[in-house]
Structure 1
Amino acid sequence: MDYQNKKSKPKFIGNYELKQTLGEGAWGKVKLGIHKSTKQKVAIKTICKNKVRQQNMGIQIKREVNILKQMKDKNPHVVQLYEVLASKSKIYLVLELVTGGELFDKLVNEHRFSEAKAKYFFRQLVTSIAMVHDEGICHRDLKPENLLLDENNNLKISDFGLSALYLKEKDSCTSTSESCRIDLLHTTCGTPNYVSPEVLQDDGYDGRKADIWSMGVVLYVMVTGVLPFDEPSLPKLFDRIKRGIYRKPLNLSPNLLDLLSKILVPDPLKRISMKGIQNHPWMKVEKIPTPMTKNVNQKDEARSITSTNSQITQLLLNSPKSVPELLDLIMAELKELSFAIIKTNHNQAKCYKTSRNGMIGLNITIRKDAKESSTVELQKARGDVFAYYKELHLCTKVLKNIV
């Protein structure tokens, strides 16, 4: 038999032929799919049923599907869901194929956007989230990583349901409800820098106002390339967020600084509304006034998310596993991302990877916080800062769902 000429049989899910892997998320792989009749290209998101059962996430999967179905054909800036298919072991979400990558990647490559470019994306974000809110839905995990771009550079919002919950009663949530606890837990496990102050409190909160805060953080990051709220430890970070303390770069236009000051208000009742954002002068003025000149490296700029070797990223993992067991799991996941790893202690490891910009290094430390939770610290050890942050982004996506 001529094994070299033997072709593997095409794999189909429903009417779609599965092609190459486009990426890998917390729940499984995302593959290219091609409809066998129309030849339409789609993204097929694979969800492992075992993981859903183990992590009790069936309700959230249903919420994501229901939200995407509700938004179908109503919002051009939301990734469209075409079909839901299933096998014995997996659930398949057939989604719109978005080919322009993440806004996050574009931002990392360009370091920061001009006000004109930031306004182009922010207007689309505001329009889209306003439409989402009108449907009684709040995203609650808005960040550049969840904002995709199509081939025409138009924004597409992703990750509904798995990281955000549908609000049924007056778009509010109480901390005593199970859904609220899940949402808060996911947010702090993901990227806490975008979380609003009220989400960190024990009281109920309006999900729409929380979205507006997160949009303000996204806007700030787009125009500065840095996070408005960033600290080396979660308690310090949460304290800064609750007090609404952030630096106001003088190289930004007065109108933009004014808009940010109205969005990043700790008291949600005093925070600007979505309509207020849409009517703000910065959103309407087409020609950006010349900003005051200032060296962006001066000390009153916010701390760059990629500028310092001492930058520590913390992840909270909810798992009953011991620290050595968690470290072994993490090492296995990072090896899949092509890292070379040296275990230095029962709770520490050094990880290295060669990139286009040279060697990247990060150090891992795990600390047990409680019976079923641990903190994982990822610290930059060496390498180009932007290349490192790209790798860090991939690492956190994989590691935050280890159980």
Structure 2
Amino acid sequence: MLSDCGNDDESSFSNRLERDIAAACRVGGYLVLGAALPGQSFRRAVRLDTRTRCSCKSVAHMNLFRLLKPYLELPEHANIVRPLEIVQRGENAETFVFFDFSPSLDLHGLLRQQKRLRESMAVVYFRQIVSAVAHCHENLVVVRDLKLQKFVFSGDDRSELKLAGLDDAIVLEKPSDDLLTDKHGCPAYVSPEILQTNSGTYSGRAADIWSLGVMLYTMLLGKYPFYDASPSNLFNLIREGHYDLPSSLSPLAKSLICSMLRQDPSKRLTAWAILQHPWFFRQDAPGSPTIRGKTGVDQMVPEPITYGDTTSMFT
């Protein structure tokens, strides 16, 4: 019997195993199953000696150091996935990197199911998210492209999240200099300073904080703070910075969201300062979350906004 390393039950995993078996291949001491999951770059895998589930990502050998560099800079953290082993198939062939989690439901998927989260539940999840980002920032890693899909559940009870993948991360050279020049990110989460045509550089850490603000807003309200099917209209909304804070949100939640979605990057809270915000010390924050039912909820988190290659849109 396979041990529980993901959040799927044994029967659902067995069903996937049957569907993927035709595409399965053995790589070293692992069995790699099928193609990557929709919206994810990881593939399911099984470690054969322990029969535990894990994940893998295949990369060209020339790109291996670029993929692993952020992990090499980061001490271990409970809410960030870690590489287990690197296996190369032949000289100059693709290389497989195996990770210590099984690809499963991500936070965006949960919101698609539940529509939005109670604040008492969001506190538990968002504390883990910000803790992972703060750990990265403290160790000179800017995450970039932060979004709900990057955080996956690591257990059946859906109480623990992990930042799954640092593919887009940048390792800084100096603690005091986090200025970046390349404009990169998911359109719905991108910060206004990245969209400024006359902006040569921007703070990588501050851009991550803006994305955290978008994430919390979406978790609590079931919709993005800025949304339009047209990329140009979406970017105009982000530049203007106007969004609704309905009365259903607590004053503390409104305060925290506003502290992250400030137009001026220098006025946004740091990740460590966010963790000290009073919202995290609500008296109704439980030790483990309970999921809000669908009754009375009229919002729906949309599918991720994709416009293909968005690099040219940010210039």
Shorter-chain TM-score: which interval?
0.7 to 0.9
Query: In the alignment, what sits opposite 2:179?
Result: 173
Map Cα deviations across residues 96-123 of structure 1 (whole Å, 9 max, x no partner).
1235521111111001111011111001
Partner Cα distance (2:180, 2:206) in 1: 14
- Which structure has the larger Rg over C-alpha atoms? 1
Q: Which residue of 1 aligns with 2:3?
A: none
Equivalent pair of 1:255/1:282 in contact (CA under 8 Å): yes
User: Which of 282, 285, 292 pairs up with 2:282?
Assistant: 285
Q: Which stretch shifts more, 201-210 or 264-273?
A: 201-210
TM-superposed CA distance for 1:197, in Å, is 1.3
**1:260 corresponds to 2:257:** yes
Greater RCO, CA 8 A, separation 6+:
2
1:215 correspondence with 2:229:
no
Tell me by how many angstroms 1:84 deviates: 1.6
Q: Aligned partners of 2:271, 2:242: CA distance in 1, in Å? A: 22
How far residue 30 of structure 1 moved from its aligned partner, in angstroms, is 1.2
- 1:78 deviates by 0.5
- Structure 1 gaps of 5+ residues are 1-7, 53-57, 289-294, 298-302, 319-371, 375-403
The Cα shift of 1:228 comes to 0.1
Distance 1:29 1:211 in 2: 22
Which residue of 2 is the match for residue 110 of structure 1? 114
Distance 1:17 1:82, change over 3 A: closer
Q: Which one of 16, 34, 41 corresponds to residue 53 of structure 2?
A: 41
Distance 1:266 1:203 in 2: 17
Q: Compute the displacement of 1:313 (Å).
A: 4.7
Give the residue type in structure 2 aligned to 1:13: V
SS of aligned partner of 1:163: coil
Deviation of 1:41 (Å): 3.3
Q: Does residue 156 of structure 1 match 2:170?
A: no
Q: Are residues 104 and 200 of structure 1, via their aligned partners in 2, closer, same or farther at CA, if it must alter by over 3 Å?
A: same
* Paired position in structure 1 for 2:68: 65
Q: TM-score, structure 2 length as denominator?
A: 0.77
Q: Does the C-alpha gap of structure 1 residues 373 and 241 become closer, same or farther in structure 2, counting only changes over 3 Å?
A: closer
Rounded Cα–Cα distance in structure 2 between residues aligned with 1:28 and 1:275: 29
Change (3 A) 1:64 1:192: same
* Unaligned segments of structure 2, at least 5 residues: 1-21, 286-295
**Identity across matched positions, percent:** 27
Counterpart in 2 of 1:192? 187
Cα separation, partners in 2 of 1:62 and 1:26, compared to 1, 3 Å: farther
Are positions 1:142 and 2:142 aligned together? no
For 2:138 and 2:268, locate their aligned partners in 1 and report how far apart those are by CA, in whole Å: 18
Structure 2 counterpart of 1:336: none
Match of 2:270 in 1: 273
Give CA deviations for 1:159-197 in whole Å, capped at 9, x if unaligned: 20x32222223342342xxxx2xxx24x2xxx3111111
Check the 8 A contact 1:233/1:314 in 2, yes or no.
no
TM-score scaled by structure 1? 0.61
Counterpart amino acid of residue 67 in structure 2: E
Which of 223, 226, 230 pairs up with 1:226? 223
Aligned to 1:13: 27
Quick check: which one's strand share is greater? 1
Classify the secondary structure of the residue corresponding to 1:315: coil
CA contact (8 A) 2:189 2:214 kept: yes
Query: Over aligned residue pairs, what C-alpha RMSD do you find?
Result: 3.0
State the Cα distance separating 1:373 from its structure 2 match: 7.5
- The amino acid that maps onto 2:45 is L
Amino acid in structure 1 at the alignment position of 2:54: V
Q: How far apart, CA to CA, are the structure 1 residues paired with 2:304 and 2:150?
A: 22
Distance 1:206 1:373 in 2: 20
State the shift of 1:45 in Å: 1.8
